[in-house]
Amino acid sequence: MSASSIDSHLLENRVFPVPAEFAAQANIDEARFNALKAEAEQDREGFWKRLAREHLHWITPFQQGLDASAAPFYRWFADGRLNVSANCLDVHLHGAQRHKAALIFEGEKGEVRTLTYAQLHREVCIFANALKRQGIGPGDRVAIYMPMVPEAVIAMLACARIGAIHSVVFGGFSAEALKDRLEDTGATLLITADGAWRGGKLVPLKRHVDQALLREHEHKVRHVVVLTRTGQDVDIVEGRDIRWEDAVAGQPADCPAEGFEAEQPLFILYTSGSTGKPKGIVHSSAGYLLWAKLTSLWSFDLKAEDVYWCTADVGWITGHSYVVYGPLACGATVFLYEGAPMYPRPDRFWEMIARHGVTVLYTAPTAIRAFMKAGDEWPARHDLSSLRLLGSVGEPLNPEAWVWYREKIGAGRCPIVDTWWQTETGGHMIAPLPGVTANKPGSCALPLPGISAHIVDEQGVEIHSPDQGGYLVIQEPWPGMLRGVWGNPERYRSAYWQKFDDRYYIAGDSARRDADGYFWVMGRIDDVLNVSGHRLGTAEIESALVAHPAVAEAAVVGIPHEIKGEAICAFVILKHEHVGDDRDELGAALRAQVTELIGPIARPDDIHFVDTLPKTRSGKIMRRILRAIARGEEITQDISTLEDESGIDQLRPGK
Ligand code: WT7
């Protein structure tokens, strides 16, 4: 976001009322919304219990609601049992619903495949049996490193069917990042593909897998299932690797849905924090599924007739909750696209929306800004009249992009649902309800029913005065919340609860609330970057830089970027003996190093070679000073805690 758009963001006061036609058909109208809020206020636990009874299919009904005996390690519906895959598939196998499309897939090269609910159910059962055959059972961890193809969804649901815990690793991550996640989860089986198509190029997934599984690493992977996607040559390691086709051959299409405990972990998904390696966020079965389903019904107004498209990869939480679990639990038709957004031309999205009659589109501000930049003529060529709702997630949708999205994609007709949430929250937390809440461009509007979001100051005292910024926190536990950090309960406590003595879940964002109670998210309060809607920890990128033999020390900050939201700027101190090295070559080598250790999304945009970094007397890098320098701003902050003030001047680029 440029400085001028930050200004207009602050001054934004346009209000777009709910279109009457939309309100008339919405799942949640104003009366329902008020009733839900009142019900939650009166008896929050009873509210969640009622919803869990009505919206989930239980194999053993629960009696217990919230168990707060080990807070902040909360448990929900813990004495109940259910099967998550049955809630997404088997419940839709009655009558005509059975033969409606569950998935419509379009490959990057344009081929289309449709799977009805009956067919998806069949494929999931077959693959679940194949997993059992490979020795996988309840509680085992299964890693999934796949392209965006139906088999990725099948793999996730097959794990859920047999109570295995999946851990999807985004296909854009490097071998090294995959290795870290395999070691941390202790996965015994990995599902991958030979490769993936991305922007017309081949991504060698299986080659990354082979690198991640080198013998010296501490993983526990015994078997690798390899889907044939691109047909490229791969090494098949005898006794370890098995082709998908061979794994499913002869497996029966019958795999009864056993009931698993409500609190059985459904998946582990890694996300960046301000310190250390990414955290393995653990989500439950019942509470998570309930929240993914309810928010799909509420925020997206999802109906069985919808052709719904969430453009996220299944490697992110958005793909878990809003490509797979939420929309399938609602019985909608999910559209799935394999490739790059602008491939082969900038109208690929609009062409597919027209071709498949997409009704609900959920995408990210970074994509919207890129399309806006590509030009109005691209969407204008296509009939987008099937669309009825537009969603956004990942970072604040700046008003310019908001208005463009509304006018050029939604023809001024579709409500825009800007959803604030996180990997940790499982589903949307703050969002305008499309049939109820008037839109204000740039604001994610109001907390959903049952969600008690507040803004508190440094002492944890609630801020009531409008427009005063503070910590965005959630006071009451909710079913979709994370259950912990895999293998690291202490980190769960310290990252999310400790600062305010376990009284609130601390999101890590700063926000303000206006006089109408609308939330305006301002950004992260910690050192986490948001690049194209993806969280990246400064610590991860810094350690990737320092791993290069020429680097003595590194510090990374975010700088505003027109399309990506934030771009990565690195300050690097070279080791004495490398000070004379060619800077262009070193810059290229460092970018390659970060790509190799994390993935292309973490590549620094700017690299400044410096002699010193601003530090406090206790040795902490003062990032706010680096941020100001990287942005070319005057340093107005207090630098009294700085160890050596004279160093600041030489940090400025060009000096
Ligand atoms: C962080 C969570 C949740 C799926 C995508 C990213 C930022 C997310 C919004 C929004 C303002 C947003 C926050 C949050 N964020 N959505 N609508 N408005 N900021 O998931 O990687 O867990 O990142 O993304 O900073 O903390 P994630």
CATH number at 389 reads 3.40.50.12780
> What residues form DSSP beta bridges with 202?
197
SS3 state at 266:
coil
Alpha helices by DSSP H, listed for 497-569, are: 538-546
Residues 155 and 267 in one domain: yes
Strands across the sheet with 112-116, in order? 112-116, 101-106, 333-337, 307-310, 360-363, 389-392, 416-418
| Order of strands across the sheet that contains 453-456 | 453-456, 470-474, 505-513, 519-524
- Chain segment 214-256, per-residue pLDDT in tens: 977 799 999 999 999 999 999 999 999 999 999 999 999 999 9
**532 annotated ligand-binding residue:** yes
- The answer to whether residue 514 is domain-embedded is no
> Minimal CA–CA distance to 408: which of 446, 367, 375, 360?
375
Say yes or no: 401 and 538 in one domain: no
3-state secondary structure 203-264: ECHHHHHHHHCCCCCCCCCCEEEEECCCCCCCCCCCCCEEEHHHHHCCCCCCCCCCCEECCC
Give whole-number Cα distances, 250 to 115, 126, 247, 254, in Å: 20, 9, 8, 12
Please check whether residue 574 is in contact with residue 616, taking contact to mean a CB–CB distance below 8 angstroms.
no
Peptide bond into 72 cis (omega under 30): yes
Do 209 and 72 belong to one domain?
yes
Whether 443 and 582 map to the same domain: the answer is no
Q: How far is the CA of 395 from the centre of ligand 1 (A)?
A: 5
405 and 369 assigned to the same domain? yes
Residue 295 CA to ligand 1 center (angstroms) comes to 16
* HEC readout, 53-113: HHHCCCCECCCCCEECCCCCCCEECCCCEECHHHHHCHHHCCHHHHHCEEEEEECCCCCEE
- 425 and 481 in contact (C-beta within 8 Å)? yes
Single-letter amino acid code for the residue at 146: M
What are the CA-CA distances from residue 333 to residues 22, 326, 363 (Å)?
20, 11, 17
Q: Sort strands 534-537 and 528-531 into parallel, antiparallel or unpaired.
A: antiparallel
Task: Measure 365 CA to ligand 1 centroid, in angstroms.
Answer: 11
Q: Whose CA is nearest to atom 19 of ligand 1?
A: 395
Place of tokens 């202790």: 186
422 is in an annotated binding site: yes
Cα–Cα distance, 441 to 634 (Å, whole number): 30
Tokens 């019900």 sit at which residue? 39
Residue 197 CA to residue 191 CA, distance in Å, equals 17
Whole-angstrom distance, CA of residue 244 vs CA of residue 225: 6
What spatial distance separates the first Cα and last Cα of the chain, rounded to whole Å?
A: 26
Residue range of the domain that includes 147 = 18-453+485-505
Angle at CA of residue 232, ends 220 and 248, nearest 5°? 55
Regions of the chain short of the pLDDT cut 50: 1-8, 655
- Are residues 316 and 192 both part of a single domain? yes
Exposed/middle/buried for 218, CB within 10 Å: 0-12, 13-18, 19+? exposed
168, 141 Cβ separation under 8 angstroms: no
**Residue among 209, 237, 200, 287 nearest 483 (CA):** 287
For ligand 1, mutation pick of 393, 439, 528 (most atoms within 8 Å of CB): 393
Strand partners, 430: 420, 447
- How many domains would you assign to the chain? 2
Closest residue to atom 8 of ligand 1, CA basis: 394
Per-residue b/e over 126-141, b at no fewer than 16 CB within 10 Å?
bbbbbbbebebeeebb
- Annotated binding residue 198: yes
State residue 650's pLDDT score: 65
Do residues 268 and 398 share a domain? yes
> Is residue 559 domain-resident?
yes
User: What global pTM score does this model have?
Assistant: 0.94
Same domain, 572 and 445: no
pLDDT recorded at residue 1: 35
- Which DSSP state fits 132? H
Task: List the residue whose alpha carbon is closest to atom 17 of ligand 1.
Answer: 420
Is the CB of residue 593 less than 8 Å from the CB of residue 544? yes
Strands (E), 253-380: 260-261, 267-271, 279-283, 307-310, 333-337, 360-363
**Is residue 621 in some structural domain?**
yes
Peptide bond just before 252 cis, omega within 30 deg: no
Nearest to 332 by CA among 363, 301, 370, 355: 301
Residue 423 lies in a domain: yes
Predicted confidence at residue 653, as pLDDT, reads 56
Ligand 1: centre distance to CA 535 (Å): 8
Residue 390 backbone phi and psi in degrees, to 5: -125, 130
CATH classification at residue 550: 3.30.300.30
Would you say residue 463 lies in a domain?
Answer: no
Quick check: 250 and 215 in contact, CB under 8 A?
no
Residues 435 and 555 reside in one and the same domain: no
> Does one domain contain both 570 and 495?
no
DSSP states of 574-613 as a string? Answer: EPGGGTTS-HHHHHHHHHHHHHHHT-GGG--SEEEEES--
Q: What is the pLDDT of residues 62-110, one digit of tens each?
A: 999 999 999 999 999 999 999 999 999 999 999 999 999 999 999 999 9
Is beta strand 189-193 parallel, antiparallel or unpaired with respect to 141-145?
A: parallel
Q: How far is CA 324 from CA 34, 48, 216, 307, 495, in A?
A: 29, 22, 35, 13, 28
Together in a domain, 117 and 216: yes
Q: Are residues 588 and 448 in the same domain?
A: no
* Angle separating helix axes 44-55 and 286-299, nearest 10 degrees: 90
The string of DSSP codes covering 176-196 is: HHHHHHHHHHT-SEEEEES-E
* Residue 268 counted as domain residue: yes
Distance from C-alpha of 90 to C-alpha of 118, rounded to nearest angstrom: 8
Amino acid of residue 190: L
Residue 549 CA to ligand 1 centre (angstroms): 34
**Is residue 395 marked as binding?**
yes
Q: Is 529 exposed, middle or buried (0-12, 13-18, 19+ CB in 10 A)?
A: buried
Q: Is 522 among the domain residues?
A: no
Tell me, what amino acid is at 136? I
Q: How far is the CA of 422 from the centre of ligand 1 (A)?
A: 5
Decide: helix, strand or coil at residue 482: coil
The whole-number pLDDT of residue 647 equals 66
423 annotated binding-site participant: yes
ipTM of the complex: 0.99
On whether residue 569 sits in a domain, the answer given is yes
Distances, alpha carbon 139 to alpha carbons 134, 281, 564, in Å: 14, 15, 38
Task: Report residues whose beta carbon is within 6 angstroms of any ligand 1 atom.
Answer: 271, 317-318, 393-396, 418-423, 444, 507-509, 521, 524, 530, 533-535
